[in-house]
Amino acid sequence: DQGYFYNMVAEVEVFMSPEELLKGLLDIERQMGRKREEKWGPRNIDLDILFYDDLVIKSESLTVPHPDLENRIFVLLPLFEIAPDFRHPVTGKSVARMLSELLKKKGIDILTIQSGASIMGSIT
């Protein structure tokens, strides 16, 4: 059981390998007091690499694209805000399409009110 938290997505330009980036993110988590004692346990920070350009990586320590990306509205929604046309390098689906498919699967509709504004509501 966890308290409330913010979900954010950032697009960054780095001059390091994906493995070096992961090491840096884990260092930030440690410096902020993150303890990785249980898989889904409480955390004060959680930094993930969703994509790294169009690379596909599957190693012992890193999987890119993030394996649960397509099933997480809390990731796809902010990602859609900054990169709706970015394509998943394995599936070829755009972020907009992944979000649309997941919302439909969950029974959620987004109603556009005006350019740049939307209201989310459940379909009954």
Q: What is the CATH number of the domain that holds 48?
A: 3.30.70.560
Q: Which of 27, 30, 36, 48 is catalytic?
A: 48
Q: What is the pLDDT of residue 47?
A: 94
**Residue 92 placed within a domain:** yes
Domain membership of residue 78 as a residue range:
18-122
**Residue 2 placed within a domain:** no
Q: Is 53 a catalytic residue?
A: no
Q: Is 1 a catalytic residue?
A: no
Q: Is 48 a catalytic residue?
A: yes
Alpha-carbon Rg for the chain in angstroms: 16
* Alpha-helix residue ranges (DSSP H) falling in the chain: 18-31, 73-82, 95-106
**Residue 13 placed within a domain:** no
Residue pLDDT tens, the chain, 124 long = 677 778 899 999 999 999 999 999 999 999 998 887 777 667 788 899 999 999 999 999 999 999 999 999 999 999 999 999 999 999 999 999 999 999 999 988 765 555 555 545 544 3
Q: What is the pLDDT of residue 20?
A: 98
* Domains identified in the chain, total number: 1
**Residue 12 placed within a domain:** no
